Amino acid sequence: MAVGIFDSGLGGLTVLDAVQQRLPDVPFVYLADSAHAPYGVRTADDIFDLTCAAVTRLFEAGCNLVILACNTASAAALRRMQESWIPGDKRVLGVFVPLIEAMTERQWGDNSPPREVGVKHVALFATPATVASRAFQRELAFRAIGVDVEAQACGGVVDAIEDGDMILAEALVRSHVDALRRKLPQPDAAILGCTHYPLMQDTFQDALGAEVRVFSQARLVADSLADYLDRHPTMLGAGEAGFLTTGDPRRVSDRATQFLRRRIVFDAA
């Protein structure tokens, strides 16, 4: 039994860590497409092709269910995959919906009409491709009305985190928050719309101020996955836990070990 978790790089390890804590008896196969990271500056067609290739590899590893622990892939590729590509006996889920449901205080699967919610002014921090897709705004509109979303494309942050340059990453985060505040001076809430960004959550919170509620995805995705598997236990599939990368396994293993502060060993995908 195994569930696949995919990210363009190592940011999805924040999701993996949360789901492993929430579901300790479920094995996970993590695939990092490190050879092609970052996705956030690629075209939608390129992201679609790369995501399909990665998900195919996880299907081959025995995963019937794959979580796109990559906001860029979820934003730019998931809907197209669900409409025309995913085999009937497989499922691919994204990371946007659990976060939006939490922000709008809706239960999973609540298909009632959109309604007014407590938050009115939302700051979205994401990669350029995620911002360009407007997928977050589209999914939000299905569930809420009267919410003003101001998006900030956070160029360079993912690259800095992947390179382990946290000083540069912090400087970039503060610069992007400053740019967002010039457009939306007083947000009620902020969305960290990239699975790399939880590694910088304290910096985002400090730059935004204590009065802004910062939503991060990992725990919300873990709770949503647990609920999904309760209702669809056959989606666990076959396969054994492991870590795969399209990049240099030694380099990726070293960086992943720094991320999670426990030894992680990647194999070549």
Segment among 99-113, 141-155, 221-235 with least mean pLDDT = 99-113
Percent of residues, the chain, with pLDDT higher than 70: 99
Q: What are phi and psi of 5, to 5 degrees?
A: -130, 125
In the residue annotation, 154 being an active-site residue is answered as: no
Give residue limits of the domains in the chain: 3-96+218-268, 105-215
- Cβ contact 72:47 at 8 Å: yes
User: How high is the pLDDT of residue 91?
Assistant: 95
Are 125 and 180 spatial neighbours (Cβ–Cβ below 8 Å)? Answer: yes
The pLDDT score that the predictor gives to residue 162 is 85
Q: Strand, helix or coil at 66?
A: strand
Other residues' Cβ atoms within 10 Å of the Cβ of residue 99: 24
Confidence of residue 103 (pLDDT cuts 50, 70, 90): confident
Architecture of the 105-215 domain: 3-Layer(aba) Sandwich (3.40)
Alpha carbon distance 187, 79 (integer Å): 29
How do residues 44-73 score in pLDDT, each as one tens digit?
999 999 999 999 999 999 999 999 999 999
pLDDT for res 237: 67
| 111 or 52, which is more confident | 52
Give the pLDDT mean for 91-119. Answer: 85
183-197: per-residue pLDDT in tens? Answer: 999 999 999 999 899
In this predicted structure, what is the pLDDT of residue 97? 85
pLDDT at 102: 85
Q: How far is CA 94 from CA 4, 54, 136, 145, 248, in A?
A: 12, 14, 11, 22, 26
pLDDT digits (tens, 9 = 90+) for 159-182: 999 888 999 999 999 999 999 999
pLDDT at 197 (0 to 100)? 92
| Domain pair 3-96+218-268 / 105-215, same fold | yes
Is CATH 3.30.460.80 what the domain over 3-96+218-268 is classified as, yes or no?
A: no
pLDDT of the residue at 259? 83
Tell me, yes or no, if 194 is annotated catalytic.
yes
pLDDT band at 108 (very low <50, low <70, confident <90, very high): low
pLDDT digits (tens, 9 = 90+) for 117-161: 989 999 999 999 999 999 999 989 989 999 999 999 999 999 999
